[in-house]
Structure 1
Amino acid sequence: MINLEPYGNPQYFVYLIIGLIPLMIGLYHGHRWRWYQSLVSLVFIFLMFDGAKWQQGIALIGFVLWEWLMVGGYMAYRKRFNQGWVFYLAVVLSIIPLSFVKITPAVAAGQSSLFGFLGISYLTFKTVGMIMEMRDGLIKDFHPLLFIEFLLFMPTISSGPIDRYRRWLDDYQVVPDRQKYLGMIEKAVHYLFLGFLYKFLLAYLFGSVLLPRMDLMTMRYGGHGFSWPLVGYMYTYSMDLFFDFAGYSLFAVGISYLMGIETPMNFNQPFRSKNLKDFWNRWHMTLSFWFRDFIFMRLVFMMMKKKIFKSRVTTSNVAYVLNMLIMGFWHGVTWYYIAYGIYQGSGLVINDWWLRFKKKHQAAIPHNKLTEAFAIFLTFNTVCVSFLLFSGFLNKLWFK
């Protein structure tokens, strides 16, 4: 059998486009053949976990069944009762598989969990988001088959973007008119070609050509502290991280558009950000907005409701740090991911202080193209330092 990692090589796109042609013809003529869309998705998901990855495929099946029970069970309970503790229980239980995957390598000498598979984080965010929106009354019904279609939407299953159920359902239940669909195809072609530039050219240049050389130079000549080779590694890794991930995201969005689904974009020129908050409105946006809506805002609301802090500023500052710390833990239970979360949270606190200070003293603080350029330069370097932490390279450098 053919093992096809999503968006891993041009061959994958050849098979995928061939598989999507009947669906595209149907959409062009005003029909969404759901049975065929489901069939194509299942075939390519199967190919993802064929061969040596069959255990991940079994884990995916178990995960889907587990989350189906969590989401469906919570909706059935909510329609009859409204005890808050059941909501918290449903959220905790839905996160358990992901928790095992993240914690196992930390407690079992780097071994991977049997529950793990490609894309488990993004699928978990989808289900937790649904449970929270059910509690808020935004999702009023549970449709078992639509839930599975949403969870296993093939273009985004491995690396996002993280879509929201209500937004996805609006697209899935409506067939775009011919003119709109032709526009979606045009955008899809643009995204796919841009993704090829990012993933197969620029990410290859920075990740496969330059990064190993910067690694070798830093390990050989950099020592254990600051060095120019380390700075070079930092910038090279940052570029590789962006172009690799942004390329994958563009592929997912482009394929989604061909399937008549307007999956949200994940990146919006993040290295042009003028401050750290602006950066998180541009970088991995579906993840950033998910954490904002389902963790940060709820932390702020809870702390204000319980009057834990008198000051709104203190409340938001604590929520910033906790929010980003949770994001750090989500990436993995290691000191550098946790440090990354604390760094980003503290940076957002400082950023908020600066924005308040700037607003209060706007007459005395110059604002022109030069100051904007400096703000972009400062934000870019602040972010690159955080990516150096995130890379884990310092762990290798300091403990070699």
Structure 2
Amino acid sequence: MLNIQPYQNPQYFLLLLLAFIPLVIGLYNGHRWRWYESLISLLFIFLIFDADKTIQGFALIGYTITQALIVKIYFHYRTNKRFNNNFWIFAVAIGLSILQLVVVKLTPLLANGKDSIIAFLGISYLTFKTVGMIIEIRDGAIKEFSFIKFLQFLLFFPTISSGPIDRYRRFIKDYDNVPDQSSYIGLIGQGVHYIFLGLLYKFILGYLFGTLWLPELEQMAMAQRHNHPFGISLALVGVMYCYSMYLFFDFAGYSLFAVGTSYLMGIKTPMNFNLPFISQNIKDFWNRWHMTLSFWFRDYVYMRFVFWALKKKLFKSRITIANLGYLLLFLLMGLWHGEYWYYIIYGLLHAGLMIGNDAWLRFKKKHQKYLPSNRFTKLSAIFLTFNIVCFSFLIFSGFLDTLWFK
């Protein structure tokens, strides 16, 4: 049997092309064949979890059914006028929805690096979708719930493994409607453009930086580590920039494939990257980098914490509350990647950078008449932000752990 990973080899794209011919014809003629979309989604999910990943496939099936039941039960509770909007019921629903992800994330730490048997590709992103759904149900933003449509939302195969992270209301709005012929032709054009741009990013630029150049630079940096304080050499600087470019082109390329494929299905999945390396400060960077993840954490972690802290008058200063929110936000983001020191330092570094950036913006606003603002200052801000971000990616890569401790 075939065992292929999303957007990784020519076989996957060939199967995608063949499977999409009837779907594109149907949408072009004003018909969304939901049964066919479900069929090809199941087919591609089966191919992902075939052969040696069968256990992961069963874990995914159990997970999606459980998550859908949790959401369905909470929706019934929240919309039933006989019940009060009890916070603890909401907390239990959130706890149950993230339980499998927490087990998966903690297992390597507690089991000497072994992965959990209930882990599967894309569990984090599906959990984020479910948690966002429960929060919006509590807020009253979601008025209707369909068990089948929620499963469609969770198992939307173009984005199942690594996002982008869509929102239920936005997804269902597209899913319930068929674009007119003119609009769909535009979506096809955009989708094909994104797929070809993804090919450039992932298979050419990502290959150059990640496969050809990065291993050579890492070997050079390891060979030179005893000749320089803390192993800091020109080769290590090369690793920093090369890894940063690889990380961007590989992940952005994958995201472009997912978005382009979604467009061909008449679903406008949100973009994940928007020229992040021209950011003028760190906040601007997080508004451009892995946007669906950063916006998810902003909306469902940072803003919720700040609102709660202000309501409870945890501190008198709004600035203090905002700063604590940054620490919570980026510490969680770091821990989500893993329980290693470099992920935690990466998160805390970005929290510190956000706190410092806000302090600078307040200072700049107060003294703007004394501070120049021109093309040179903007380019300098871009240059500084780019290098700080690349340094943080060097930490994130874990290479310093190998360089210093292995």
- Shared fold, TM over 0.5: yes
How far did residue 183 of structure 1 move? 0.3
Residue 123 (structure 1) aligned with residue 129 (structure 2): no
Equivalent pair of 1:222/1:229 in contact (CA under 8 Å): no
How far did residue 108 of structure 1 move? 1.0
User: Counterpart amino acid of 2:168?
Assistant: Y
Residue 28 (structure 1) aligned with residue 44 (structure 2): no
Distance 2:339 2:144 in 1: 36
User: Counterpart amino acid of 2:205?
Assistant: L
Structure 1 partner of 2:151: 148
In structure 1, the residue corresponding to 2:368 is in which secondary structure? Answer: coil
1:341-363 deviations in Å (ceiling 9; x for gaps):
10011100001111111111111
In structure 1, list runs of 5 or more residues that go unmatched. none
Structure 2 partner of 1:176: 179
Structure 1 partner of 2:365: 359
Equivalent pair of 1:340/1:389 in contact (CA under 8 Å): yes
Equivalent pair of 1:339/1:389 in contact (CA under 8 Å): yes
Structure 2 partner of 1:232: 238
Structure 1 partner of 2:168: 165
Distance 1:38 1:65 in 2: 15
User: Counterpart amino acid of 1:221?
Assistant: Q
How far did residue 23 of structure 1 move? 0.7
Distance 2:165 2:9 in 1: 23
User: What is the aligned counterpart of 1:84 among 84, 87, 103?
Assistant: 87
Residue 274 (structure 1) aligned with residue 274 (structure 2): no
User: Counterpart amino acid of 1:47?
Assistant: L
Distance 1:375 1:210 in 2: 28
TM-score normalised by the chain length of structure 1: 0.99
How far did residue 293 of structure 1 move? 0.3
Residue 100 (structure 1) aligned with residue 103 (structure 2): yes
Distance 2:405 2:154 in 1: 41
Runs of 4 or more, structure 1, over 6 Å off, are none
In structure 1, the residue corresponding to 2:351 is in which secondary structure? Answer: helix
User: Counterpart amino acid of 1:260?
Assistant: G
User: Counterpart amino acid of 1:158?
Assistant: S
User: What is the aligned counterpart of 1:249 among 250, 255, 262?
Assistant: 255
TM-score normalised by the chain length of structure 2: 0.97
1:159-192 deviations in Å (ceiling 9; x for gaps):
1000000000000001000000000000011101
In structure 1, the residue corresponding to 2:272 is in which secondary structure? Answer: coil
User: Counterpart amino acid of 2:184?
Assistant: Y
Equivalent pair of 1:97/1:115 in contact (CA under 8 Å): yes
User: Counterpart amino acid of 1:177?
Assistant: D
How far did residue 17 of structure 1 move? 1.2
Equivalent pair of 1:222/1:228 in contact (CA under 8 Å): no
Distance 1:79 1:371 in 2: 53
Distance 2:208 2:109 in 1: 32
In structure 2, the residue corresponding to 1:363 is in which secondary structure? Answer: helix
How far did residue 142 of structure 1 move? 2.0
User: Counterpart amino acid of 2:31?
Assistant: H
In structure 2, list runs of 5 or more residues that go unmatched. none
Report sequence identity in percent.
Answer: 62
Distance 1:115 1:353 in 2: 43
| 1:13-92 → structure 2 map (5 Å cutoff) | 13-80=13-80, 81=83, 82-92=85-95
Structure 2 partner of 1:288: 294
Number of equivalences: 400
Equivalent pair of 1:275/1:351 in contact (CA under 8 Å): yes
In structure 2, the residue corresponding to 1:185 is in which secondary structure? Answer: helix
How far did residue 130 of structure 1 move? 0.0
Distance 2:101 2:377 in 1: 43
Equivalent pair of 1:163/1:264 in contact (CA under 8 Å): yes
1:94-148 deviations in Å (ceiling 9; x for gaps):
0011111111111111100111111001000000000000000001222110010
User: Counterpart amino acid of 2:12?
Assistant: Y
Equivalent pair of 1:23/1:259 in contact (CA under 8 Å): yes
How far did residue 10 of structure 1 move? 2.1
Distance 1:150 1:278 in 2: 29
Equivalent pair of 1:325/1:342 in contact (CA under 8 Å): yes
Structure 1 partner of 2:222: 219
Distance 1:42 1:99 in 2: 26
1:255-284 deviations in Å (ceiling 9; x for gaps):
000000000000000000000000000000
